[in-house]
Amino acid sequence: MACMKLGSKSEVFHLDGHTWLCSTGLQSDVIIEIGEMSFHLHKFPLLSRSELLENLIGEHSSEDEKRCVLQLHDVPGGAKTFLLAAKFCYGIKMELTALNVVSLRCAAEYLGMSEDYGEENLITQTENFLNEVFGSWTDSLKALETCEEVPLLAEELHIVSRCINSLAMKACADPILFSWPMQGGSDIRNPDGTVFWNGIRTSAKPHPVGEDWWYEDVSFLRLPPYKRLILEVGSNGMNPGRVAGALMYYAKKHLPLLGRKSSIESGNYAASRSTISATSEADQRSLFEEIVELLPDQKGVTPSNFLLRLLRTAMIIHASPSCRQNLEKRVGTQLDEASLQDLLIPNSGYSVETLYDIDCVQRILDHFMLMDHDDPTSNYVEHEGQITESSHSLIPITMVANLIDSYLAEVASDVNLKLAKFQSLAAVVPDYARPIDDRIYRAIDIYLKAHPWLTDSEREQLCRLMNCQKFSLEASTHAAQNERLPLRVIVQVLFFEQLRLRTSVSGWFFVSENLDNSQNLSGNLALARNDLHPQAGAIHGRIMVDDMKERVSELEKECLSMKQEIEKLGKTKVSSWNILLRKFGFSRSKSKYGDPEASKPTDTKELPTSSAPLINGGENQNNESVE
């Protein structure tokens, strides 16, 4: 916590009962009375620093009184603060802190302790210290709390607004960047031994900070400064979700009923009323309505379950009709986010007919339906003249339909629930919002069971709320055997079930026929593939024939070269013949008949005859090439 020491002299003030005495060795010549306390002081130190005291002492000096007596009962901060101002006038050591600087600044203004009555006077000193206070989150918070002791002058000197601006600026900024403390009060020690002092962390270990770090600190403020702080952070651009979170924290702390279960769940309605008696019901109602008014208007910012808890509390403390209408409208705009348990609002009216407040839920649902929804058929597509569901995703209207059907099933067992009220609530939900009518059927069945005295016409009228064509198999099976349903409804269920069965059987036949056709088509494709095999073999054979033709052509060239060499040599020795054979890559082998001459080609036309069977027509081709 920031502090500043003023003065250099030692302490000369001492208390004697309700009297403060200044032991300077000189006799006191002025007495200042503040409440029950009196101060025996000296004129010169006071009038040299204070314009007010100079004027008052000057007025009394004209009289023939030996001792001047002044009454300053309305001095800001009372006798405690005036004592600090008197010490400053005498130059005695004193300490400025965040807890006393506001009242001392107001007292300095009241006493007129400006620069006209000495340099570095009390107004200047306290203003300089206030600027240091505004640099700290904790000190700014303490200074704002002490403004309640001197509300008029603190407002006039803009101390309250400066404190709020300082807190709002720090709440909107990132505390990690400025090392601001995460909690109010004095030093903070974590379980691991890490110490925070004045926003300075003594350990290098990082400390995670959430966006709600300031909720608890400001929750100790009274409603007027808290309201101004919330409005200021909102105008500074804080996320509405964080503003709503701070208000929720403040409401839970100062509104005891928000932390309690409903009287129906706890089984004791008187307990809820006794909670209010602990504090003034008027104060609770005023605080409640102010918090509701401060909540951001944006949809989805405040959770639906919290809004419904506020609405439940509004019923108990009898909040104003405009406040309840505001809450009902807020809940209606985001009814798709609510849960069944939160929607079960106890009926706290004076003329209690039903266990739960059905009319309130009816109004909430009406607000939801009045919203600008998308085209109701946007989740459906037209196919062959019929509307079919294109997606199974739960759009908001479908979620609300499921919620209301579950709510109807919960309240249907109430014997005091009138048929008209049940029908009115169920009929608000459009038919397209229910992809399946199992939930509404269950609610109707429970209502019929709890109200066996209904006439046949009333049962018929009630069953018009559901569509038998949208029953699941389980619901159809149950409805076909339900004796509570009118006979016409049972016949409809059986008819549509038979129609569904017939459609399913036709579908199986269609699938089976398609399967047979696909198998035949697969067989034809297999035959076609088999027919392609010979062609593929012929292509492969043609490639092999081309390779063989190339090889035969090379052999023909070699044979022609041999023939030319033989004609040149004529009749030579056998060794020359062998050399020629080796030159062309042939080795001499034994003749089949054992005659060396048998290996000589006597007729060149017979050379390629060994290759004739390789290809069709190969003989003519080879002969033509040789010739």
Mean pLDDT of the region 514-526: 55
Phi, psi for 39 (deg, rounded to 5) = -120, 120
Q: How far apart are CA 454 and CA 423, in angstroms?
A: 14
Q: Is the pLDDT of residue 105 over 90?
A: yes
Query: What's the number of CA atoms in the CB half-sphere (13 Å) around residue 237?
Result: 2
Least-confidence region, from 326-330, 363-367, 369-373, 542-546: 542-546
pLDDT, residue 1, reads 59
pLDDT beyond 50 at 272: no
- For 346-357, the pLDDT digits (tens) are 887 666 788 999
Contact 120, 108 (CB under 8 A): no
Tell me how crowded residue 301 is: count the other CB atoms within 10 A of its CB: 17
- Which range among 133-137, 230-234, 279-283, 364-368 shows the weakest confidence by mean pLDDT? 279-283
Phi, psi of 191 (to 5 degrees): -60, -25
H-type alpha helices, 483-626: 487-569, 574-583, 618-626
- Please compute the mean of the pLDDT values over residues 103-116 and round it to a whole number: 94
Helices 281-294, 321-333: crossing angle, 10 deg rounding = 40
Cβ(626)–Cβ(604) below 8 Å:
yes
pLDDT the model gives residue 13:
82
The string of DSSP codes covering 382-438 is: EETTEEEE------HHHHHHHHHHHHHHHHTT-TT--HHHHHHHHHHS-GGG-S--H
pLDDT of 611 reads: 35
Reduced to 3 states (helix: H, G, I; strand: E, B; else coil), residue 135 is coil
| Contact (CB, 8 A) for 418 and 451 | no
pLDDT at 260 exceeding the cut of 80: no
Q: Would you state the structure tokens that stand for residue 175, as one six-digit string?
A: 């505390």
Helix (H) or strand (E) holding 308: helix 304-317
Confidence at 269, pLDDT banded by 50, 70, 90 = very low
From 30-44, 140-154, 348-362, 595-609, the region with the lowest mean pLDDT: 595-609
- Residue 39's SS3 state is strand
191-208 pLDDT, tens digit per residue, is 444 444 444 454 444 455
Burial level of 211, CB count in 10 A (0-12/13-18/19+)? Answer: middle
Q: Rounded to 10 degrees, what is the CA torsion of 15, 19, 23, 27?
A: -170
| pLDDT reported for residue 553 | 62
Least confident of 94-98, 540-544, 618-622: 618-622
Among candidate residues 235, 182, 177, 250, the one with its CA nearest the CA of residue 210: 182
Question: Does residue 218 or residue 576 have the better pLDDT?
Answer: 218
Q: What is the pLDDT of residue 377?
A: 45
pLDDT for the residue 7: 53
Question: Which one has a higher pLDDT value, 439 or 196?
Answer: 439
Question: 189: pLDDT confidence band, cut at 50, 70 and 90?
Answer: very low
Cβ neighbours of 361 (radius 10 Å)? 23
Q: How confident is the model at residue 87 (pLDDT cuts 50, 70, 90)?
A: very high
- Alpha-carbon gap, residue 565 to 370, rounded angstroms: 112
- Say if residue 371's pLDDT is above 50: yes
User: Comparing 613 with 489, which gets the higher pLDDT?
Assistant: 489
Most confident of 62-76, 199-213, 258-272, 579-593: 62-76
What integer is the mean pLDDT of 297-313?
93
User: Is the overall model pTM greater than 0.85, yes or no?
Assistant: no
Q: CA–CA separation, 195 vs 185, rounded Å?
A: 13
pLDDT band (50, 70, 90) for residue 123? very high
Give 552's pLDDT tier (boundaries 50, 70, 90).
low
